[in-house]
Structure 1
Amino acid sequence: MELAVQIPLMMAILFGAVEIGRVFYIYHTLQKGLRGGAGLLARSTNVAYCNSADLTLADARNFIVYGNLQGEGTPIVQGLTPDMIQIFPERNVADTTGVIACLCTEDVDSCDTSSGGRAPDFIVVNLGGGFPLAVPFPFVNLGTINLKVSVRMPVTGG
């Protein structure tokens, strides 16, 4: 009788541990991909951060998703697409430790390098609304969780 109660309980604990490990693994893989793409952008020169069609931004999105600049092969995480990747330039606030979003205007302090602005101080790469991850569990539908992954990196390129 005791074994009939213990086996399902032990199986639930085992399946739960495996699923938690899978969630952590996928989160780490996403974060590693975003960190690599942010590093690629941070060291690149002449990036038009205000132009969403800029080739360097497209290359960074491909690098994050596929691990290469061409966008070929399978994604690092099943279900990840380049459209999920958001890239935001940020600027230091003068005489403070604050950081604000860098505007894309014709102002000299903007991040629009084609209009005379300068490169941002930081680049933020994230997954927007998050990465939806289904959490399967035997005989129960636990739904999906959104993995919110974001990376901020200082820009060292020009």
Structure 2
Amino acid sequence: MSASSRPQEVLSKVDAATVESIRTFVTSTSIGQLGLKLPTGLVIAGPSIASHGQFFENLAKALATDARSTFVKLTSDEATNLKNLLKTLIKKATSRNPDLDEDEDEDRDLVRRKGPKLLNYDLQVLYNWSKEQSTDRVIVAFQDSEAFDGALLAETVELLQ
């Protein structure tokens, strides 16, 4: 084994252990169990943004094994304000839904679902979709959390409750 591959091997082992710990937390924690509305875990991936991509890909793959959950990764450039963050979150979470036509205009202001017309940044869209898909969990990961506006993150967490 070369000296240059040793640090990568150590990093891979640490990442794998961290991903498994997060997967265990997500799949074994229920809302009633903690007495919380929103079971939350915060993982700080460190200052090296170059390693974040692979870590979050591994996390998404590990969580994808649970069919009753949806994983959404957001970056700060996708979330310049609350409206953009919510639109992106809803679009990414529901993109697996075959009922949604991906050729529709992204800037469309209204989303048609069963019932009343909803704005494409209304969390009711995500809620309705999760009920239709029997999804118990929507996992939201902020890849570069240090680049997000603190007030925006706080407001997002509050809204997701």
Q: TM-score, normalised by structure 1?
A: 0.30
Structure number with greater CO (CA < 8 Å, separation at least 6) is 2
Instruction: Decide which structure has greater strand share.
Output: 1
Q: TM-score, normalised by structure 2?
A: 0.30
